[in-house]
């Protein structure tokens, strides 16, 4: 892949997990600049605010230099166009992700044919990891330190632990 590519990695990141971070690190080795873009979705009630998620992602990626963290609302392809990005990065875990991701990639292509979606297959150890699973474990007081960065595990404990 040519190194001068600008890419967007859009998602909810509520919160960011080691699965997302794996995709981010691998993408950053392939592109010139990656923007991790937190979607402000009015139809979802997130656990962490957009500002909190931006702060969490920024802290978790401070060792990566060709990366920006931002938020956006509306169509991903329009945001990508504004940023001068030609690539959307998405992660694929199991077959269950595939149908939805393919539909989204096709839809985005019809909206803007100059923007390509590139899928990175998750690393084996993260294939069953999702933000929802992490929240479900934390809600019942389980350990999530092996799934998310330490500060996020702490934030989950204080916000979700059963005694709160």
Residues in contact with ligand ADP by the rule CB under 6 A? 11-13, 17, 19-20, 23, 90-91, 93, 97, 122, 126, 129-131
- Residue number closest to ligand ADP, CB atom: 19
Shorter beta-carbon distance to ligand ADP: residue 9 or 160: 9
* Contact status, residue 85 vs residue 78, Cβ threshold 8 Å: no
Q: How many CB atoms neighbour CB 60 within 10 A?
A: 24
Distances (CA, A) of 33 to 23, 40, 57: 14, 22, 16
Looking at the Cβ atoms of 11 and 160, the one nearer to ligand ADP is: 11
Catalytic site includes residue 68:
no
Choose, from 44, 62, 63, 146, the residue flagged as catalytic: 44
Active-site annotation holder among 40, 93, 109, 159: 93
First and final C-alpha spacing in the chain: 48
User: Which residue is catalytic, options 12, 20, 27, 90?
Assistant: 20
């Amino acid at each position: 892949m040519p190194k001068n590519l600008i890419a967007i990695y859009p998602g909810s990141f509520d919160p960011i997990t080691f699965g997302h971070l794996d995709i981010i690190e691998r993408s950053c080795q392939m592109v010139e600049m990656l923007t991790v873009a937190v979607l402000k979705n009015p139809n979802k009630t997130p656990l962490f605010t957009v500002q909190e998620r931006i702060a969490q992602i920024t802290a978790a990626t401070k060792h990566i230099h060709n990366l920006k963290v931002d938020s956006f609302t509306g169509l991903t392809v329009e945001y990508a166009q504004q940023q001068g990005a030609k690539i959307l990065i998405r992660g694929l875990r199991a077959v269950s992700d595939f149908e939805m991701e393919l539909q989204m990639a096709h839809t985005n292509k019809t909206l803007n044919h100059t923007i390509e979606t590139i899928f990175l297959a998750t690393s084996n150890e993260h294939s069953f990891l999702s933000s929802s699973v992490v929240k479900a474990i934390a809600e019942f007081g389980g350990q999530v330190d092996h799934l998310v960065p330490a500060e996020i595990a702490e934030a989950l404990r204080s916000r979700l632990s059963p005694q709160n």
